[in-house]
Amino acid sequence: MADFLCDAEDALGRAKAPSPAELDDILSRAGELKGLSLSDAAKLLMIENEDALGAVYEKAAEVKSAVFGPRVVLFAPLYLSNYCSNDCLYCGFRKSNTTARRKALSPDEAVEQAKILSRTGFKRIILVAGEHPLYSGVDYLIKIAEEIYSRTDMRILHVNSAPVSVEDFKRLKSAGYGVYQCFQETYHKESYKVLHPTGKKSDFLYRLSVMDRALEAGFGDVGIGPLLGLYDYHYDALAAIAHSKHLEAKFGACAHTISVPRLKSAEGAEIKDAPYPVSDEDFRKIVAVYRLSVPQAGVVVSTREPAKLREECLLCGASQISAGSSTEPGGYGRSTGGIPRDRSTSQFHLGDIRPLPEMARVIAEMGFLPSLCTACYRSGRQGNNYLHVASSGNLNELCTANALLSLKEYLIDVSPQPEGREIIEAALNRFLEEFKGKLKEDVKKKMKMVEKGERDVHY
Ligand code: SAM
Ligand code: SF4
């Protein structure tokens, strides 16, 4: 077993919920933005007491704000293909699901979907596919990236796809992919084996080492996360933190994102209910502990979760959320507000179907700044470089400026409904006024450039 899993297991074996004095001590260390030890993280994960959890959430919100400022990054997935040669018991795309209507987008169809998302306001999307040698292999993903980049104004494509070799990762990176994302599902080897009985994905260690290969191949940014509900969350969440620490020790950069996917019931899945259910309160605790333990990582909450919980997560450390998602290949443009037209092609049932304009409005109403920014990828702030800027605290100011510019573009090009527009515009103006001196003047100058029609203006 990988050393980092042994470390997580050891830390959890010794962990008890902290005393009030210990908690104060841990939270004050978390405030230094250097992350927490596995032993501290394990203690936080053991907390059940409401007041203690309240203190953890408060500190997580503080740390999120110190690292990322007010911004909340919005993105959307683009599902390319639901063909799959694996048989993950919980997934609607699994091979044995004979009721699934299979679909792999042609390059033209993928371009069409990307154009729809771009018109909606997304300039960063994550491509998602089942694992299949023909319908989602590396050649297919490269072709799709080439077509989307050359035929649309999409600025950055991330990808959530099956693990591959270092050589194939190099090819994917050359095609222009930004973040490589892959979920371990569970870090508990025995449960993993039961849940992934056949296919390439049944190789636990090959999946566990996927990020080492991606980083070795030159992917600066990788996204990790266990699928909550498959095993005891205390172990899986701590193992994800240990995984990020392992990557940081070996490659100099923590996980770029830690996602918090939670098992949803899926049409045609063998397992409908989570073997280890994770309550909403536990979910928030996990979000907050990720934030405190790996402060520079984006913590991502998807539309799997219900609206209210997603908003609560923004108050305890989450920094990225998807919006208006469809998990059906070809689902955009055929559905209303992200409701899949056809459940037999979608991956799982969504918890939050609010489209982008509504999410942007809600984020602004909560006092945050909706961001559709892609600047880090345009300016080479990835991997070590990103971590360096994030740790120095400069990311906060830069990103706020970039988020404002991306929002300005959104307001001009997409023009959401009047009521939402006013709220988003007010947030934009409020945050703009908070800048000081020269920077404020400079951001205003850049805003004018956007008003005059320049696009992709950023720092
Ligand atoms: N096929 C690739 C893989 O499994 O890594 C990538 C795409 S897969 C569609 C993306 C993720 O969806 C999986 O890693 C898994 O965590 C998640 N997923 C699968 N079934 C799910 C379900 N029923 N509820 C929530 N998430 C699910
Ligand atoms: Fe295939 Fe991924 Fe679904 Fe497993 S989770 S069945 S690998 S699409």
In tens, the pLDDT along 9-24 reads 999 999 999 999 999 9
pLDDT at residue number 346: 67
Confidence of residue 340 (pLDDT cuts 50, 70, 90): very low
Are the CB atoms for 301 and 329 separated by under 8 Å?
Answer: no
What are the domain boundaries of the chain? 66-371, 375-451
In tens, the pLDDT along 311-331 reads 999 999 999 999 999 999 999
In tens, the pLDDT along 215-224 reads 999 999 999 9
pLDDT at 85 over 70: yes
Residue 235: which H helix or E strand, with range? Answer: helix 233-251
- What is the spatial distance between Cα 413 and Cα 197, in angstroms, rounded to a whole number? 48
pLDDT at 53 over 80: yes
- What is the spatial distance between Cα 278 and Cα 54, in angstroms, rounded to a whole number? 18
Q: Which of 180, 183, 276 to mutate to test the pocket of ligand 1 (most atoms within 8 A of CB)?
A: 183
Q: Quick one: the chain helix, strand, coil %, rounded to 5?
A: 50, 10, 40
pLDDT at residue number 337: 42
pLDDT at residue number 334: 65
pLDDT at residue number 390: 58
With a 6 A CB cut-off, is 350 part of the ligand 1 pocket? no
Closest CA to 59 of 46, 74, 44, 39: 44
At residue 47, what is the residue type?
Answer: I
| Residue indicated by tokens 């908003």 | 311
Q: What is the mean pLDDT of residues 425-445?
A: 94
Nearest-atom index, ligand 1, CA of 264: 24
Q: Rounded to the nearest 5°, which phi and psi values hold at 81?
A: -155, 140
For 360, counting Cβ atoms within 10 Å of its Cβ (0-12 exposed, 13-18 middle, 19+ buried), the class is: buried
pLDDT at 171 over 90: yes
For 20, counting Cβ atoms within 10 Å of its Cβ (0-12 exposed, 13-18 middle, 19+ buried), the class is: exposed
Residue 132 CA, distance from chain mean position: 23
Q: What's the CATH number for 66-371? A: 3.20.20.70
Q: Which of 103, 179, 198, 227 to mutate to test the pocket of ligand 1 (most atoms within 8 A of CB)?
A: 227
**Ligand 1 centroid distance, CA of 286 (Å):** 19
Which residues, other chains included, contact 38 with Cβ-Cβ below 8 Å and sequence gap of 6+? 7, 8, 10, 11, 238, 241, 242, 245
Sign of the CA dihedral 215, 216, 217, 220?
positive
pLDDT at residue number 418: 79
With a 6 A CB cut-off, is 38 part of the ligand 1 pocket? no
Please give all residues whose beta carbon lies within 6 A of any atom in ligand 2, as ranges. Answer: 84, 86, 88, 91, 93-94, 130-131, 201
Q: Where are the alpha helices (DSSP H) in 276-417?
A: 280-293, 307-314, 356-365, 375-378, 383-392, 394-413
Q: At what angle do helices 233-251 and 3-14 cross, to 10 degrees?
A: 130
Nearest-atom index, ligand 1, CA of 327: 9
Q: 10 Å Cβ neighbour count for 327?
A: 25
pLDDT at residue number 272: 87
pLDDT at residue number 415: 77
Q: Where are the alpha helices (DSSP H) in 366-436?
A: 375-378, 383-392, 394-413, 418-434
Which residues, other chains included, contact 407 with Cβ-Cβ below 8 Å and sequence gap of 6+? 360, 369, 370, 371, 372, 424, 427, 428
In tens, the pLDDT along 342-360 reads 556 666 778 999 999 999 9
pLDDT at 77 over 70: yes
Share of the chain above pLDDT 70, in %: 93
Q: 10 Å Cβ neighbour count for 417?
A: 10
SS3 state at 254: coil
pLDDT at residue number 349: 77
Confidence of residue 339 (pLDDT cuts 50, 70, 90): very low
Closest CA to 350 of 333, 337, 332: 337
Ligand nearest to the CA of 264: 1
- What is the spatial distance between Cα 60 and Cα 400, in angstroms, rounded to a whole number? 19
pLDDT at residue number 350: 86
Share of the chain above pLDDT 90, in %: 87
Q: How close are the terminal C-alpha atoms of the chain, in Å? A: 43
The chain-wide mean pLDDT, for the chain, equals 93
- What is the spatial distance between Cα 103 and Cα 1, in angstroms, rounded to a whole number? 37
Q: What is the mean pLDDT of residues 53-79?
A: 96
pLDDT at residue number 338: 41
Q: What is the mean pLDDT of residues 110-135?
A: 96
The pTM for the full model equals 0.95
- What is the spatial distance between Cα 203 and Cα 192, in angstroms, rounded to a whole number? 9
In tens, the pLDDT along 231-266 reads 999 999 999 999 999 999 999 999 999 999 999 999
Residue 180 CA, distance from chain mean position: 11
- What is the spatial distance between Cα 283 and Cα 131, in angstroms, rounded to a whole number? 28
In tens, the pLDDT along 396-408 reads 788 899 999 999 9
pLDDT at residue number 343: 58
